[in-house]
């Protein structure tokens, strides 16, 4: 019997059933996809890091190195399982020419390595440890992704030729957020080019017990071993690998949550419409003695069928799309070893969606209890109470056309009915605006200020070179006399020792200079201003357990100096562990210096970059926009894609739900429509009234959506962005797009959808709905 | 006297499967300006359908309806609506007021469609009408806060708000008790005496007895007609008896 009821019902309401089905399928698909993505990403990262044997602790170092002392340390430390010093040959981008194009524009520190013997393997795209022959070169996978290189291309490194034999996965440096990239060549070839670049060492350790990593870090620092460069740990490698795909998963999760909400609302809509349509029958069924639970079963049967079919279809569809979304994960990290769990989690996710729908339907059907049999049989519609808008009288209305008045009055009088539509429109607005704001924020110039980078046009890096101080002076002399440079500052990073509360000492890199010239955003407090002040990056503050106002003791030239924490900022540079101060110091060694400059005319940046690049061959000159593009470029472009998809999805949802809702309203209101027609209101008048209702609800929905986007959306987005290391930030909105074009687009959509949805009102016959007897 | 409405050979049928079911089977009817006409007949005789066909609220399958010199079938949906709004008034069996509006707003609704600017004048007129039918003071009440009789009176006020040339009543007293029904008919008769033509459908001989002319319908046809000119007396009891006698005579 149920099958017959379901079949009849579906064939009678094809559109509504189809729409509900679409939302259920989409919800099931997205939940399944999120599960598959999460399991695959974490699995793939684990697999990659296991296959590559990623180091647990790595200290980058340039300058002289005492490998014997390091080996001794490794031998004596009982926790060390493996130790090696890897050479990383830094090469100027201009010296590397792939298929005729040089990497001069690249902001990455490109360098060469040979395959490691003990751990930290460079893997091919099948996850095997690469064995490279003479004359061959393996290129970082990121250059395959952006189309810079393909297998068989010729690569010229300072005059020596290689052939691209394949691409490599580097468990340390895969991510575009990691600033270095390793190319792999054979030992013989490496020896040949060794003299052409500057040497950097990666001092790497694998530990027996990863949980005692921080104890190991302290031991390394206390031993006073080589530390002229950033320190990176296993956790950070893992995070870097997870970030860009993690963002995508976060967006998919957000969208799936919203689609589930909309699917449920859609079910509510269609169910209420159906109940409204069947009102009299329900009354009759109750009158002849059917139990509420029996009547409920008939309705539940249909939704169980839809939910089951939708879930299965959604699950199947997620397999069609998973390849597309997993592409990036597969390319960068390879297959996950435990991908079979993905199916299990996807099934659990889909079961949850299914159960949520059934529970919700059952909840909505509770209103059967409230239906009075007598009332249902007499009136055929629910005699819902109208409330509110008491003071909004037609007799006192001078402002609106009567049709507009009637539309607004109806929306105000039946708030509960319109609440569902309002919620969907607010969510749609939210879906449109949040990704838009997110995109505007991360693509705006000021965003880098949240990332620990000031808003300047170009930076000149002095790193991995001798006599940094003198070279910096030379640059300053040029920059100072350059009329195009509006303002500049020199930041010198030095390594100090900080005394911890337990008496141990840890290394801390402090950027010394005038931090007021190119200010960054502080999530707490402010920039250091006095000699005895220091600002910490979030990661450092976290690790040291310091907050604004706390005191840090530094050991400078053997003497202790107390500094007060003036502020905490987010930083993505140099492994995220940095500090800023203004005191003068001549004792500690300079690790690197940066000259930051802002031009009076930003359009001259390109010329200036190449001019300085030629002039200061010992320095790396970068255009900050280029830096942002190359660091965040892929993220910005995927957010842009998400923005477009979100817009399309939201408009589609708005259109579908409005059509559906309006059809339901017309069915519900057929009696009132007949009255209005009898009184001499035209079909156009009726349409105008419905358009007024929907546009009125839309306007409130848009205001609500914008408000939510700027509050809740900002919190959600900052949760996503904080994964980059930015602690707090504010949306940068494009007001024209967010507050003019998007709402206008919504209004047009709602307008057209309302006209389509209410088209059937023209067919409502007065006589059929009012007439008592023939 | 000028004819305000002419129905010629009106045919209306419903398609039931492959069969046509005639509801109006060649009905012709003429109504003069200011005339008071009633239509009687058993359930299913087609009297309500005739009313909706004459007012242009229902399509017809054959014949012609002319109102105020215009052939209704030649008019567009908009022109028909305009006529209904400005020249016709309707009173239905059930109070057909809109739930969202209070009594006053329901009454002024048709007139406000075109003359929002003269809201004050319209409201003043509505108040006068309400006073006339005895529901003054209920202006701001919701429609759920008044009695059926009061709602029906409000319905009459709404029918009159645009000064119609003709009022259509579909069993306007059908849902009222006899005392209220009498009061309603007093009001309707008074409106007619002021010059508005009225056609109403009724089961009730007492109601029909108030009118000038009674058309009797059966099986979609007008089977008889009875004139109750003013000359035939003002004693309602007597007039009612005459109507009932006629009904017996023709077997309705």
User: Contact A336/A286 with Cβ under 8 angstroms?
Assistant: no
User: Contact B21/B6 with Cβ under 8 angstroms?
Assistant: no
pLDDT for residue A573: 65
Chain B, nearest residue to A399 by Cα: B116
User: Contact A639/A720 with Cβ under 8 angstroms?
Assistant: no
The structure tokens 């298929």 sit at A99
Cα–Cα dist B21/B13, whole Å? 5
Cα–Cα dist A694/A709, whole Å? 21
Which strand (E) or helix (H) includes residue A139? strand A136-140
User: What is the C-alpha radius of gyration for chain B, rounded to an integer number of angstroms?
Assistant: 18
Give A774's contacts (C-beta < 8 A, 6+ positions apart).
B23, B43, B44, B45, B46, B47, B48, B49
For the residues A570-578, what does the mean pLDDT come to? 70
pLDDT band of residue A379 (cuts 50, 70, 90) is low
pLDDT digit string (tens) for B82-110? 999 999 999 988 878 888 889 999 999 99
User: Contact A107/A460 with Cβ under 8 angstroms?
Assistant: no
Backbone φ, ψ for residue A137 (5° rounding):
-140, 140
Of A410, A680, A770, the CB nearest to B85: A680
Residue A131 burial (10 A CB sphere; 0-12, 13-18, 19+): exposed
**Contact (CB<8Å) A774/B23:** yes
Give A610's contacts (C-beta < 8 A, 6+ positions apart).
none
**Contact (CB<8Å) B52/A677:** no
Which strand (E) or helix (H) includes residue A184? strand A180-185
pLDDT digit string (tens) for A419-451? 888 988 998 888 888 888 888 887 776 777 777
Which of A208-222, A517-531, B62-76 reaches the highest mean pLDDT? B62-76
User: Contact A53/A174 with Cβ under 8 angstroms?
Assistant: no
Give A189's contacts (C-beta < 8 A, 6+ positions apart).
A134, A135, A137, A160, A162
pLDDT digit string (tens) for A4-14? 767 777 777 77
- % of chain B surpassing 70 pLDDT: 97
Q: Say yes or no: A416 contacts chain B, CB-CB below 8 A.
A: no
Q: What is the DSSP secondary structure assignment for residue A724, as one 8-state letter?
A: G
Token pair belonging to B97: 């007021």
CB-facing half-sphere around the CA of A146: CA atoms within 13 A = 16
Residues in chain A: 774
pLDDT for residue B71: 93
pLDDT for residue A575: 60
List C-alpha distances in Å: A430 to A252, A657, A700, A745: 15, 16, 13, 14
pLDDT for residue A332: 79
**Contact (CB<8Å) B119/A398:** yes
Backbone φ, ψ for residue A528 (5° rounding):
-70, 135
Helices of type H across A207-291 = 213-222, 234-277, 279-287
Residue A46 burial (10 A CB sphere; 0-12, 13-18, 19+): middle
Average pLDDT, chain A: 84
Cα–Cα dist B85/B102, whole Å? 20
Give A704's contacts (C-beta < 8 A, 6+ positions apart).
A422, A426, A429
Q: Say yes or no: B85 contacts chain A, CB-CB below 8 A.
A: yes
Token pair belonging to A138: 């393996």
Pairing assessment for the beta strands A458-463 and A559-569 based on DSSP bridges: unpaired
The alpha carbon of residue B69 is apart from the nearest alpha carbon of chain A, in Å, by 19
Give A306's contacts (C-beta < 8 A, 6+ positions apart).
A17, A20, A21, A24, A357
ipTM value for the complex: 0.89
The alpha carbon of residue B47 is apart from the nearest alpha carbon of chain A, in Å, by 6
For the residues A261-281, what does the mean pLDDT come to? 76
The alpha carbon of residue A764 is apart from the nearest alpha carbon of chain B, in Å, by 11
pLDDT band of residue A234 (cuts 50, 70, 90) is confident
**pLDDT of A765 strictly over 90:** no
**pLDDT of A248 strictly over 70:** no
The alpha carbon of residue A370 is apart from the nearest alpha carbon of chain B, in Å, by 19
Of B52, B58, B113, the CB nearest to A685: B113
Q: What is the pTM of this model?
A: 0.71
The structure tokens 């296993």 sit at A234
pLDDT digit string (tens) for A306-364? 899 999 999 998 888 888 778 777 877 787 777 778 888 899 999 998 998 899 888 88
For the residues A756-773, what does the mean pLDDT come to? 77
- % of chain A surpassing 90 pLDDT: 23
**pLDDT of A166 strictly over 90:** yes
Chain centroid to CA A5: how far?
45
Q: Chain A contacts of B126, Cβ < 8 Å?
A: 395
**Within 10 A of A346 (CB to CB), how many other CB atoms are there?**
26
Of B92, B139, B142, the CB nearest to A770: B92
Chain A segment 499-538 residues within 8 A of B by beta carbon are: none
Q: Chain A contacts of B139, Cβ < 8 Å?
A: 395
List C-alpha distances in Å: A400 to A395, A397, B108, B113: 12, 7, 15, 11
pLDDT band of residue A272 (cuts 50, 70, 90) is confident
Q: What is the DSSP string of A188-213?
A: HHHHHHGGGSEEEEEEEEEES-GGGH
**Contact (CB<8Å) A766/B52:** yes
Residue B33 burial (10 A CB sphere; 0-12, 13-18, 19+): middle
**Contact (CB<8Å) B105/A394:** yes
pLDDT for residue A516: 87
For the residues A620-631, what does the mean pLDDT come to? 77
What dihedral angle (degrees, nearest 10) is formed by the CA atoms of A63, A67, A72, A78?
Answer: 80
- For residue A82, which of A171, A202, A208, A170 has the smallest C-alpha distance? A208
Chain B, nearest residue to A384 by Cα: B99
pLDDT for residue A129: 92
User: Contact B148/B179 with Cβ under 8 angstroms?
Assistant: no
**Contact (CB<8Å) A395/B158:** no
**Contact (CB<8Å) B102/A393:** yes
**Contact (CB<8Å) A679/B101:** no
The alpha carbon of residue B4 is apart from the nearest alpha carbon of chain A, in Å, by 19
For the residues A136-157, what does the mean pLDDT come to? 90
The segments of chain B whose pLDDT lies below 50 read none
> Which of B58, B113, B120 to mutate to probe the A interface, most A CBs <10 Å?
B113
Q: Chain A contacts of B116, Cβ < 8 Å?
A: 397-398, 401-402
Cβ contacts from A onto B, under 8 A: 119
- For residue A406, which of B128, B30, B110 has the smallest C-alpha distance? B110
Looking at per-residue pLDDT, the higher value among B115 and A56 belongs to A56
Chain B, nearest residue to A378 by Cα: B94
Q: Say yes or no: A414 contacts chain B, CB-CB below 8 A.
A: yes
For the residues A16-45, what does the mean pLDDT come to? 85
pLDDT band of residue A773 (cuts 50, 70, 90) is very low
pLDDT band of residue A694 (cuts 50, 70, 90) is very high
**Contact (CB<8Å) A774/B90:** no
The alpha carbon of residue B232 is apart from the nearest alpha carbon of chain A, in Å, by 31
**Contact (CB<8Å) A771/B77:** no
List C-alpha distances in Å: A478 to A463, A606, A616: 19, 17, 10
pLDDT band of residue A1 (cuts 50, 70, 90) is low
Chain B segment 177-216 residues within 8 A of A by beta carbon are: none
- For residue A407, which of A381, A423, A389, A391 has the smallest C-alpha distance? A389
List C-alpha distances in Å: A530 to A6, A138, A353, A560: 77, 50, 57, 17
Q: Say yes or no: A767 contacts chain B, CB-CB below 8 A.
A: yes
Cα–Cα dist B166/B199, whole Å? 8
**Contact (CB<8Å) A394/B92:** no
Q: What is the DSSP string of chain B?
A: --EEEEEEEEEEEEEETTEEEEEEEEEEEEEETT-EEEEE--TTSSHHHHHHHHTTSS--SEEEEEETTEEGGGS-HHHHHHHHHHTEEEE-SS----TTS-HHHHHHHHHHTT-GGGHHHHHHHHHHHHHHHT-TT-TT--GGGS-HHHHHHHHHHHHHTT--SEEEEESTTTTS-HHHHHHHHHHHHHHHHTT-EEEEEES-HHHHTTSSEEEEEETTEEEEEEE--GGG-S-HHHHHHHHHHHHHHHT-
Of B78, B88, B108, the CB nearest to A395: B108
User: Contact A518/A596 with Cβ under 8 angstroms?
Assistant: yes
Q: Chain B contacts of A379, Cβ < 8 Å?
A: none
Q: Chain B contacts of A375, Cβ < 8 Å?
A: none
List C-alpha distances in Å: A241 to A49, A54, A176, A491: 10, 12, 9, 29
pLDDT band of residue A774 (cuts 50, 70, 90) is very low
């Amino acid at each position: 019997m149920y099958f017959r009821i379901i079949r009849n019902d579906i064939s009678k309401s094809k559109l509504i059933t189809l729409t509900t089905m679409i939302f259920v399928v989409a919800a099931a698909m997205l939940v399944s996809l999120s599960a598959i993505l999460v399991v695959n990403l974490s699995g793939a990262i684990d697999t990659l890091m296991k296959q590559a044997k990623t180091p647990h602790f790595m200290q980058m170092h340039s300058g002289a190195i005492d490998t014997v002392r390091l080996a001794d340390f490794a031998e004596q430390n009982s926790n060390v399982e493996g130790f090696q010093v890897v050479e990383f040959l830094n090469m100027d981008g201009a010296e590397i020419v792939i298929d005729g194009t040089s990497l001069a524009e690249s902001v990455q520190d490109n360098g060469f390595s040979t395959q490691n013997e003990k751990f930290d393997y460079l893997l091919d795209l099948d996850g095997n440890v690469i064995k490279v022959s003479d004359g061959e070169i393996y290129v970082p996978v990121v250059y395959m992704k952006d189309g810079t290189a393909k297998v068989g291309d010729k690569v010229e490194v300072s005059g020596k030729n290689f052939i691209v034999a394949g691409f490599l996965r580097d468990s340390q440096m895969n991510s575009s957020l990691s600033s270095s990239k390793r190319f792999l060549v054979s030992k013989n070839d490496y020896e040949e080019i060794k003299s052409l670049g500057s040497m950097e060492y990666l001092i790497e350790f694998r530990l027996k017990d990863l949980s005692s990593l921080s104890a190991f870090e302290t031991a390394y620092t206390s031993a006073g071993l080589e530390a002229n460069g950033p320190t990176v740990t296993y956790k950070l490698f893992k995070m870097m690998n997870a970030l860009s795909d993690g963002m995508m998963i976060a967006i998919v999760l957000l969208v799936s949550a919203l689609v589930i909400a909309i699917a449920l609302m859609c079910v509510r809509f269609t169910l209420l419409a159906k109940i409204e349509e069947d009102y009299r029958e329900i009354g009759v069924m109750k009158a002849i003695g059917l139990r509420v639970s029996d009547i409920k079963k008939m309705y539940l049967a249909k939704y169980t069928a839809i939910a089951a079919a939708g879930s299965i279809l959604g699950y199947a569809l997620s397999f069609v799309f998973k390849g597309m979304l997993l592409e990036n994960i597969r390319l960068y990290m390879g297959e996950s070893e435990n991908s079979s769990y993905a199916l299990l989690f996807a099934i659990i996710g889909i079961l949850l969606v299914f159960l949520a729908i059934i529970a919700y339907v059952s909840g909505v059907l509770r209103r059967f209890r409230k239906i009075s049999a007598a009332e249902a049989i007499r009136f055929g519609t629910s005699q819902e109470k109208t409330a509110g808008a008491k003071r909004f009288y037609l007799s006192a209305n001078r402002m609106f056309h009567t049709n507009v008045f009637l539309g607004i009055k109806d929306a105000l009088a039946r708030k509960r009915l319109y609440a569902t539509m309002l919620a969907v429109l607010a969510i749609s607005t939210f879906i449109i605006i949040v990704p838009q704001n997110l995109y505007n924020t991360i693509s705006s110039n000021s965003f880098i200020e949240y990332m620990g980078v000031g808003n300047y046009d170009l930076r000149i890096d002095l790193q991995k070179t001798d006599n940094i101080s003198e070279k910096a002076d030379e640059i300053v002399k040029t920059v100072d006399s350059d009329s195009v440079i509006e303002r500049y500052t020199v930041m010198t990073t030095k390594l100090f020792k900080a005394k911890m509360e337990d008496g141990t000492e840890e290394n801390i890199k402090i950027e010394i200079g005038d931090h007021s010239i190119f200010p960054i955003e502080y999530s707490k407090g402010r920039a250091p201003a006095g000699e005895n002040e220091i600002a910490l990056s979030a990661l450092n503050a976290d690790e040291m357990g310091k907050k604004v106002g706390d005191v840090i003791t530094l050991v400078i030239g053997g003497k202790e100096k107390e500094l007060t924490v003036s502020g905490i900022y987010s930083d993505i540079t140099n492994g995220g562990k940095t500090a800023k101060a203004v005191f003068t110091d001549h004792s500690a060694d300079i690790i690197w210096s940066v000259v930051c400059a802002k031009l009076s005319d930003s359009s001259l940046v390109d010329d200036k970059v190449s001019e300085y690049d030629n002039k200061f061959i010992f320095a790396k000159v970068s255009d900050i926009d280029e830096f942002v593009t190359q660091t965040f470029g892929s993220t910005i472009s995927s957010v842009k894609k998400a923005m477009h998809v979100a817009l399309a999805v939201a408009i589609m949802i708005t259109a579908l739900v409005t059509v559906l809702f309006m059809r339901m309203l017309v069915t519900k209101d057929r009696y009132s429509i007949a009255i209005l027609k009898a009184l001499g209101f035209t079909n156009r008048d009726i349409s105008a009234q419905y358009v007024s209702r929907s546009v009125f609800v839309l306007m409130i929905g848009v205001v609500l959506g914008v408000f939510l986007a700027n509050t809740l959306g900002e919190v959600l987005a900052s949760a996503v962005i904080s994964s980059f290391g930015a602690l707090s930030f504010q949306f940068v909105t494009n007001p024209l797009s967010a507050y003019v074009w998007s709402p206008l687009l919504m209004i047009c959509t709602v307008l057209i959808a309302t006209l389509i949805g209410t088209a059937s009102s023209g067919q409502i016959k007065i006589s059929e709905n009012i007439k008592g007897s023939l | 006297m000028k004819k305000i409405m002419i129905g010629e050979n009106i045919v209306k049928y419903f398609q039931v499967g492959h069969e046509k079911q005639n509801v109006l089977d060649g009905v012709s009817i003429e109504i003069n300006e200011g005339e008071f006409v009633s239509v009687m007949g058993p359930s299913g005789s087609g009297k309500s359908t005739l009313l909706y066909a004459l007012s242009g609220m229902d399509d017809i399958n054959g014949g012609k309806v002319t109102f105020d010199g215009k052939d209704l079938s030649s008019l567009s949906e908009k022109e028909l609506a305009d006529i209904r709004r400005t020249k016709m008034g309707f009173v239905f069996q059930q109070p057909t007021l809109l739930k969202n509006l209070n009594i006053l707003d329901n009454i002024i609704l048709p007139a406000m469609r075109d003359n929002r600017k003269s809201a004050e004048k319209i409201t003043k007129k509505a108040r006068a009408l309400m006073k006339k039918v005895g529901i003054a003071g209920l202006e701001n009440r919701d429609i759920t806060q008044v009695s059926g009789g009061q709602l029906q009176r409000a319905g009459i006020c709404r029918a009159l708000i645009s000064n119609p040339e003709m009022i259509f009543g579909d069993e306007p007293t059908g849902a009222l008790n006899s005392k209220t029904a009498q009061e309603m008919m007093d009001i309707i008769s008074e409106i007619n005496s002021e010059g508005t033509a009225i056609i109403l459908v009724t089961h009730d001989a007492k109601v029909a007895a108030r009118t000038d002319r009674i058309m009797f319908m059966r099986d979609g046809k007008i089977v008889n007609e009875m004139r109750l000119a003013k000359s035939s007396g003002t004693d309602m009891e007597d007039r009612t008896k005459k109507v009932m006698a006629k009904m017996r005579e023709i077997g309705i």
